[in-house]
Chain A
Amino acid sequence: MGAAPASRDVTSYGMGLAAPLALFFLIFFVAPLLQLFWLSLHNDTAGLHWGLGQYLHFLTDPFSLGVLGSTLLLGAEVTAVCLVLGFPIAWLYQRVGPKLQTIIILIVLLPLLTSVVVRTFAWIVILGRQGIINATLQSLGVIDTPLKLLYTQFGVVIALAQVQMPLMTLPLITALGRIDPNLDDASCSLGAGSWRTFFRIVLPLSLPGVIAGCTLTYAAAITAFITQSLVGGGQMLFMPMYLYQQASTLQNWPFAAAISIIFLLAVLAVVSVFTTLGRLSRGYGGA
């Protein structure tokens, strides 16, 4: 960068500083995405005939739509579980002493410090027919035959919820930490009980954190290939595995590309719903 003329606006730093990252994104993100889109516009696997056949196929095929639907539903369930379980943790974090705070943050972050594969296999051990849950319940005499936990929607939701929990809890902790503790006292002194204080004051003011946490958890849950496949097993098919099968096993690259684009658009639609909600709550959380 040469010497700037004296009249130059000091706030307009050259875009050149962003160039390395922009170039990186252009080569490794935008270009492959365009290639993917280009590929999806072909009707045959050889990529010779142009057309929207792959999209028509997906959108008219009940099986494919079912996979998309169950994937979006899975995301919603995982997000709901994370929100319901994560909020109390975040709330507790803001109300305990510094020592307990360290312990809570460690527990929250712990999943991030172990490999996804290891964590997922741990869940298989916990949920399996001879797993910890079934063994415990059987030895207590609660059940006679083992429950089917592994390879069920329930199992996938629980495992994913644990894996994605930090993505929900951390934004919630930040959002709750920004709420003036005097507001709690003020509400209480005005005669409001704990529930009214929670629903009228704490929850509305933590909405930015709730929305950020939900967006992150949702996006991460529906694209979690490893956990979905290992805990879900062969019977449960979600979009990432569906995509993988089409691309790697069946070598149907144009259809796999179309699945990717549709999945991408579906995720973007859900995320934009969250962001719109966030904008509607604009008056919240600010000073």
Chain B
Amino acid sequence: MTESEVAQQSAEQPTPGIVPAANRTVSSGRRAILSVTDLKKYFPVKSSGLIRRTVGYVQAVDGVSFEVAEGSALGLVGESGCGKSTTGRLITRLYDPTSGSMMFEGKDLAKLSAKAMTPMRKEIQMIFQDPYSSLNPRHTVGTIVGTPLRVHKVVPEKQVLTRVRELLEVVGLNPEHYNRYPNEFSGGQRQRIGIARALALQPKLLVADEPVSALDVSIQAQVVNLLRDVQNEFNIAFLFIAHDLAVVRHFCPEIAVMYLGKIVEIGERESVYNHAHHPYTQALLSASPDVKQAAIGGRRERIRLEGDVPSPINPPSGCRFRTRCWLAQDICAKQEPPLLQIGKTHKVACHFAAELGNHPAKPITAPLLGTDDQGNHAPGSSPVEFSTNPGYDETWFDLKTKTFGNR
């Protein structure tokens, strides 16, 4: 389905809350460049032996929806194994998605063949986590940065070297070092080479898969600032995958928190960091060190999560976080919490969504799901239609008044 078709379809059915895709805006008021809807990736688990039957699926990414605005940055955070890297690799089509759609410039990346994907590769590039394995050790820097230029024939062969030197200068490296091999550079410099390579095609979207996790803290800041500079200079949208909350806060105006293949909370930086409504986000935030508190010597109240992340092969029923959540009640096992928009630019998937310490005793989602407080189907009530919009709607569910509105 193309973008215009989507727009047409929504125009025909004027459901409140669903705005035609073309007019849809993200928090910053900019146009959405990438809009991912209900993206899923299941990896088959094969039995051993001669006849390899599929005995199950690793539900690495299970129904993720989000939007990235043009020239903006969406931070994807979560602990290891929660599917954030898989999401990044799905968008660059290193993996083929199981289902869902990824609309980019009117094309659904999820349905393009490998051949049809080739011209799109110019628009979407990736920065990798490990600068020591993301550069071919047998190629010179000039070859590494020049490869995308040659493959897509962006510039004539004669000008490749000139362009490579320009790119090296952009990322703050000596342009005369194009003849050197990656092992002659430090980790931070290698990551800069990786960034230069990603910039070579002048992409509109950059998937940065933990771009600074492998670097020293002092170098991290330099690289993050470099990313910010190139973002401003070339108006590149970022999908910034990281587990470091401080780095994400510094870089991304929008944050999505993932847990076990699902987005549990997504929203604008300030609302997620200062008014986190999901217990998992609250636990994550409480675990990250706070300079101010350290300075005054106060003890932080930390939320200790017990146990391990459940296996994505056989995730818990209902809410996936319930096995480690201190708020969990019966409804959490029976009903999966919908990703409910609770503010202008804030969505959360929890039956007891509220700021830390104010969690309600009764599930706020029960009336919406048409159930009683234990999650059993309540006679006489029917569930509300939830918006499937990957962006934000004009109206949202107000937690105080328990009604939809747009105050």
User: Are A and B a genuine interacting pair, yes or no?
Assistant: no
Q: Which residues of A contact B (CB under 8 A)?
A: none
Q: Which residues of B contact A (CB under 8 A)?
A: none
